[in-house]
Every structure is written in C-alpha cells, then in structure tokens.
C-alpha cells in the first residue's frame, strides 16, 4: 500500500492545514511543468495528488488509517500489496479491530451502537441489615427499616434538566448519538458505529443541568420501608424487596433492596437449627425428689416436669416450643438440660441433715470405683473410641 503520509512528508496525526501546506509544497517542487515531463516526474506527481486526495478527505483518510487504500482497485480489498489467503494484506488493521468489527456487526454492542443511548439506567441493588429479637425471628413481625439511598430528584423529576429547560439535539451527530467508522475484517469492510464524543452517544445535550441534582436526575436521601419479618427467619437469611433499592440515574427504574437478617442472641435460649436449647439449674433436692418447675418460654410460662432421681445433664424436651424454619409450619422443640446444683454454704443443722442422709444410705464412706458409663469423660471416651 502506498504510504501517503511519506509521499507528502507529513506525520500521521497531521492536521488538514498541514496536509494542505505539504501538498502545495510537494506539487510545486515536483510539477512536471517545472521539473520536466519525464515518466518518473509524471508518476511522482500522480502519487502526490493521490496522497492529497486521500489525506484531505476525512472519510478516505479514516479508511486509509484503518489499513484500507480507498484508491486501490476493488474497493480497497487487498490493494496492490498481494492479498493473503483470507483476502487481507500485511498492513491489515489489528486483531482488536477485527473482533470489534465482527462483534459489532453481529451483536450491535457498545462498539456498534446503532442509535442514541438512553441516559436512564436501572439503579444498583442494595443490601441493608436488620437485627431482630429471637421471638420476632420465631413468630415473625413487622419492622420499619430506614436506609440511605438514591431518590428521584424532586426538582427535575429525573429529567436532569434545570426547571423549564429540555435537552437539545446534538449538532455533531444530528441526534443519532453515533459516528460512523469503517473497519476491514474477515467479512470485508464493515461499517461500525462509535458513540458521538460531543454528546457521549446520547444524541442530546443538556445545556443547563438541574442544579438540585447536578444533572444526575437523582439525589442521595433517606428512605424507609416496612419489613415483614418472616417466621422462622435465621441469621444470614435475605429478603428481596422489589423496587425498594436506589433509583437509577436520569429517572431510571429503581433496583431491589435486600434485607439481611441477624437474630440477636437471647439471654436464655440458644438456637440450634429448628430447636432451642436452654440450661435449667435445679437444686440437688429437687433432682432427687422430683419437682414441677415453671419456666418462661417464648410462648409464655410452661411447666417442666423434673422426675425424681433426675441426673445432671438430663434433657427434658418441650415439643413444639422451639424455633422453626422459614417456609415451614411446624416448629422444633425446646430442649431443657438440667444442671443439678450441689448445695454450698451449709449451716450446722443442714450439714447434720445431710450427714444423717449419708449415714442412712451407707454413703458416709463412698466406694472408690470408676464408672464405665455416664459423665462427661465417658461421653468423651465414647467419641474417641468411636462407640
């Protein structure tokens, strides 16, 4: 391919004025009327004119810059260089351009925008955390959540324009939002569209942006929403509230708000999946004699039936008084573990009572014999030996 820039003696980025000046100078210096009508002079003069024809015409120059000689026979395909097997020569545009051209021809993506862009776009989803009490998590409830987000600008209603003004058509692209470009590719010369630089591809220009939102169509502000806490919710569960997220720029649709729950620790109950666990300290005498103990559950007061002779670690199950799970009707159980308290700080008469009890039960000198079952250590032993 002819190097038109070298022929005129200008740099690749030369301005139209520089091209014109260089052409004037070259044509004066090489005019056959001046240097004589030799075949070489005629040829050189032709080359100078060809160079000027291409470089002085923005469309032809753009095509040439992309590796296509607009003056070559066959619309520039291959040119004088000798085309390769796919019809392109060594001076072919980079691979990026090929893919860009093919992609835009196929998909009309960003590189191949076909019309003006719209300023409005959807906002981004947002996440807010909500801490609830355990009983709210079990039974469900209603909570107001206040959060910071993007709201539609009240002054311009999302139009981005100062009151009483409207966007004007971009003069650079006549409102089309795009600029045409020719790229050579495997498919031949492909016309691609680039966003117009003057209007950023929108086709319109906002001359006086809304001062309230700096032309964004939205402002930062506080919003509040009523959240229905679903029964059975657990820490980490998320609730999607459609359209309660931030509004998009330029009056774009609102995104979704996600509420992520955190269930507060309860002073008495530990949540274990569907179940609730609690530890109930009882006096040694109650464990030995048995007792009915009233405890406060999430469902109100309930009686725990401690059987006579209950051992430490005994678990009493109160069915259906547990936590439950999302989208599940039944609830788990409340499991109460007995923590038998050995009396301390005995006075003389209490000590005497216990001594008499020990005497009666022949326990005044307890037998030294290790137990094979029961107790924390034997449970640990079972675990270690895999029983």
Q: Is residue 250 a contact point for Zn ion (CB under 5 A)?
A: no
- Residue 35 DSSP SS3: helix
The alpha-helical segments, DSSP class H, found in the chain are 4-8, 16-30, 32-35, 39-55, 58-65, 95-107, 134-139, 284-289, 348-360, 375-385
The least distance separating Zn ion from the CB of residue 183, rounded to whole angstroms, comes to: 20
Of 22, 63, 101, 213, the one binding Zn ion by CB under 5 A = 213
Helix axes 39-55 and 16-30, enclosed angle (nearest 10): 170
Q: Is residue 120 a contact point for Zn ion (CB under 5 A)?
A: no
φ/ψ (deg, to 5) at 379: -65, -40
Give 278's strand partners: 336
Residue 213 gets which letter from DSSP? T
Of 173, 233, 254, 338, the one binding Zn ion by CB under 5 A = 173
Q: Structure tokens of 175? A: 């409102």
Q: Which of residues 128-167 bind Zn ion (CB under 5 A)?
A: 153, 155-156
The least distance separating Zn ion from the CB of residue 59, rounded to whole angstroms, comes to: 18
Of 10, 51, 93, 170, the one binding Zn ion by CB under 5 A = 170
The least distance separating Zn ion from the CB of residue 66, rounded to whole angstroms, comes to: 22
Residue 115 gets which letter from DSSP? S
Q: Which of residues 348-387 bind Zn ion (CB under 5 A)?
A: none
- Residue 42 DSSP SS3: helix
Q: Is residue 210 a contact point for Zn ion (CB under 5 A)?
A: yes
What's the chain's length in residues?
A: 387
The least distance separating Zn ion from the CB of residue 254, rounded to whole angstroms, comes to: 16
Of 56, 77, 91, 198, the one binding Zn ion by CB under 5 A = 198
Q: From CA 218, how far away is CA 246, in angstroms rounded?
A: 9
Stretch that binds Zn ion, among 88-96, 171-179, 304-312, 342-350 (CB under 5 A): 171-179
The least distance separating Zn ion from the CB of residue 162, rounded to whole angstroms, comes to: 8
Using CB under 5 A, list all residues that contact Zn ion.
153, 155-156, 170, 172-173, 196, 198-199, 210, 212-213
């Amino acid at each position: 391919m002819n190097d038109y820039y070298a022929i005129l003696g200008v740099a690749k980025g030369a301005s139209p004025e520089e091209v014109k000046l260089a052409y004037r100078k070259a044509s004066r210096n090489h005019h056959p009327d001046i240097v004589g009508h030799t075949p070489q002079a005629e040829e050189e003069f032709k080359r100078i004119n060809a160079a000027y024809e291409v470089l002085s015409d923005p469309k032809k120059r753009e095509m040439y810059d992309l590796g296509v000689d607009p003056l070559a026979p066959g619309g520039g395909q291959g040119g004088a260089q000798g085309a390769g097997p796919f019809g392109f020569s060594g001076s072919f545009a980079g691979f990026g351009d090929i893919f860009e051209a093919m992609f835009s021809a196929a998909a009309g993506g960003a590189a191949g925008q076909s019309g003006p862009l719209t300023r409005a776009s959807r906002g981004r989803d947002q996440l807010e955390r909500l801490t609830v009490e355990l009983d709210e998590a079990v039974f469900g409830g209603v909570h107001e959540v206040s959060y910071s987000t993007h709201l539609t600008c009240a002054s311009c209603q999302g139009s981005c324009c100062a009151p009483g003004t409207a966007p004007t058509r971009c003069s650079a692209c006549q409102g089309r939002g795009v600029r045409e470009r020719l790229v050579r590719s495997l498919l031949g010369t492909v016309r691609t569209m680039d966003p117009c630089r003057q209007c950023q591809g929108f086709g319109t220009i906002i001359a006086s942006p809304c001062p309230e939102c700096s032309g964004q169509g939205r402002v930062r502000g506080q919003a509040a929403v009523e959240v229905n806490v679903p029964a059975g919710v657990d820490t980490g569960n998320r609730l999607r509230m459609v359209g309660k997220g931030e509004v998009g720029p330029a009056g774009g649709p609102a995104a979704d708000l996600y509420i992520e729950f955190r269930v507060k620790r309860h002073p008495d109950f530990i949540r274990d999946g569907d179940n609730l666990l609690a530890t109930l300290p009882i006096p040694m005498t109650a464990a030995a004699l048995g007792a009915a103990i009233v405890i406060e559950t999430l469902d109100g007061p309930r009686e725990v039936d401690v059987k006579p002779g209950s051992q430490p670690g005994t678990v009493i199950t109160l069915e259906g008084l547990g936590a439950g799970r999302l989208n599940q009707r039944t609830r788990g159980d409340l499991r109460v573990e007995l923590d038998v308290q050995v009396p301390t700080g005995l006075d003389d008469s209490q000590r005497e009572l216990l001594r008499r009890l020990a005497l009666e039960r022949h326990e005044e000198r307890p037998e030294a014999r290790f137990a094979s079952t029961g107790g924390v250590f034997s449970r640990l032993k079972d675990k270690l030996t895999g029983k």
